[in-house]
Every structure is written in C-alpha cells, then in structure tokens.
Amino acid sequence: MASADAAITARGLHKRYGRHVALASLDLVVEPGQVVGLLGPNGAGKTTTVKILTGLVRPTGGTAELFGVPVADPPARSRLGYLPEHFRFPEWLTGLELLRFHARLAGRDPRRDADWLHELLALVGLDGRGDERIRGYSKGMTQRLGLAQALVGAPDLVLLDEPTSAMDPLGRREIRELIRTLARDGVAVLLNSHLLSEVELVCDHVVVIDRGTVLRSGTLDEVRSASLEVRIELERVDQRARDLVAGYGRIIATDDHEILLGTDDPDVVPRLAADLVQSGARVRALVPLRRSLEDAFVGLVRKEES
C-alpha cells in the first residue's frame, strides 16, 4: 500500500494503441528514498510506463500520481528529473551552457545558481569539463551530462532509463554511488536497465513486468527467492522419490542420485526433507541454490510465456 507521500502511485494503468495493449492494469508504488528497478523484456511496457509518469503519454485507463498530484499537473512535473535512454544535446553548446538552459526550464536562476551547476558537474564526474563543447564529449561524458541535466532542478524523483549504458566499469560504479547518495537524501529513483547485475548492485526494490502487467514486485531478496531451485541428493533416486518431489514443484533435471527441483515456495526445504525421510528415502543433502536476479527474471518471464 502506498503512503500518503509516495513519490509514485500508479493504479490500474492501462494503455492501448489501436488493438495493441501496451499496459494492462499495471500497479506501481515508489516511496521517497527507494531505488526501484523496473525490469522486463523488450515490449513489456517499461517505456510506456515511464512516458505516462512523465506526462508525455496519457493512459487509456487508471491513475498515476507523483507525490499525490496527477502526473499531468505542472506541480507534479516540477519535482521530477528524467534521463531518457536516447537523447541528443545541441553539440555547439558547452556542458555548462546546456545546464544553464535546463536550469531556466526548471525555473531556476542560472546566475544565482552558478555554484550549484559547477557542483553538479563535479557530482557526475565532469569537474573542469563544463566549458568544453558537447561535440567533443565522449559517449560516457555525454551520458554523465544527461544525468546532470536530470538533476539540475534538484528533483525529489528521478526516472533513469539505461543511465550507465555508455559507461565503462569505473563510470558505472561512480553512478551507482551517486544513486545511493540521492536515495540517502530522500530522493526516489526509478531505474530502467537491461544490466541486471547493475540493478542488483544498486536497487533495493524490483518490479518485473511483462505484457503490460506486473509479474512480481518486492525487495531484491523477495524477487530472487520467488523462484527457487533445490538440489536434492539421495542415495538412490527411484520413481517413488521423483513422484514425491514433483509434488513440490517442477523437476528440472534428475539422475540416479540427484534431483534438481524448481519451486515457487521459499519454505519448501524442511517439509520436503521430512516427507522424503518419512517415505524411506535415504537423504544425503538438500541444498537451496542461491539465484541471481537474472536467474529469477528469466524464470518469471519464461513462466509467463508458457
């Protein structure tokens, strides 16, 4: 349930383009200080969701609010910073000139906020590069500048679409630290990224969507444990043991001494162990296998597709 001051509250979002349903009753809540990863395969509805939250697209149905204000209202957008996946800046401007322009768009006085703009360049790793023209920036520098423009209005909510796609490993680490700093200051961050390892390192909550609906949402541990694998080692695997184990989920693989079980029940191990022993099976070990976010993501999407 969303709190009264939730940064994002979306209920029953629906978007149709002709016969194509891009979103189908999607719910999303992001609280201040949370870093939430929005995950899904291509065509899942991530971009449509972000466009609705920025006010660029109107939903066919449902509601979306930022800090309790409808997303279409200017007071909502005034608290929002946005870095799209694909963007281009005027190459004849310097980095500092671009930030001054976006500061005016955000209702700030670039002359009064000159120190803030220089601090912002330093914050994104462009200290001393603000007087250079953008045409001379590398892809990674342009990405950093894009992040700076998203923050120029000191927003309370930041939507980041693939913010580290053009960066090297050091740059990605620096951006992760920046995102963590924003969260510590109470800024809400919604992160859309295909780099699941990056999401795993920086996000505290994850929302997995496919075909316009939420498949799973929760903390990282909750989503990772949503689809668990257990390696069952027996002295001998017979049909009786296979049938018993199959009652707890799906058998992924088996041989004469081991069964690999897939299950959605995180508390399955003690009950399964007790049932195996009671059935007369000689159990050597039951080992829950820790899954990465990528493993859980692939499992959820494949399960939905099947």
Q: Report how far residue 212's alpha carbon sits from residue 51's, in angstroms, rounded to the nearest whole number.
A: 14
Answering whether pTM is above 0.85, one says no
C-alpha of 143 from chain center: 18
From 196, 197, 242, select the one nearest 208 (Cα to Cα).
196
**pLDDT score, position 1:** 54
**pLDDT score, position 249:** 87
Cβ neighbourhood burial of 238 (10 Å; 0-12, 13-18, 19+): exposed
**pLDDT score, position 159:** 96
- pLDDT tens profile 242-257: 999 999 988 989 999 9
- Tokens representing 230 are 């257990």
Backbone dihedral angles phi then psi of residue 244, each to the nearest 5 degrees: -65, -45
In this prediction, residues 255-277 reach a mean pLDDT of 89
CATH number of the domain at 8-218, out of 3.40.50.300, 3.40.50.12240, 3.40.50.720, 3.40.50.970? 3.40.50.300
Give every CB contact of residue 262 below 8 A, 6+ residues apart in sequence: 227, 228, 229, 249, 250, 251, 252, 299
CATH T-level topology, domain 228-290:
Alpha-Beta Plaits (3.30.70)
Q: Map out the domains of the chain as residue ranges.
A: 8-218, 228-290
Percent of the chain surpassing pLDDT 90:
64
In this prediction, residues 262-266 reach a mean pLDDT of 79
- pLDDT tens profile 90-125: 999 999 999 999 999 988 887 888 899 999 999 999
Mean pLDDT of the chain: 90
**pLDDT score, position 265:** 79
pLDDT at 300 > cutoff 70:
yes
Backbone dihedral angles phi then psi of residue 94, each to the nearest 5 degrees: -85, 165
Higher pLDDT, 32 or 305: 32
Which band of pLDDT confidence, cut at 50, 70 and 90, is reported for residue 85?
A: confident
- pLDDT tens profile 130-154: 999 999 999 999 999 999 999 999 9
Q: Report how far residue 7's alpha carbon sits from residue 133's, in angstroms, rounded to the nearest whole number.
A: 35
Backbone dihedral angles phi then psi of residue 228, each to the nearest 5 degrees: -105, 145
Q: What is the DSSP letter of 84?
A: -
From 230, 226, 232, 222, select the one nearest 289 (Cα to Cα).
230
**pLDDT score, position 4:** 64
In this prediction, residues 207-235 reach a mean pLDDT of 87
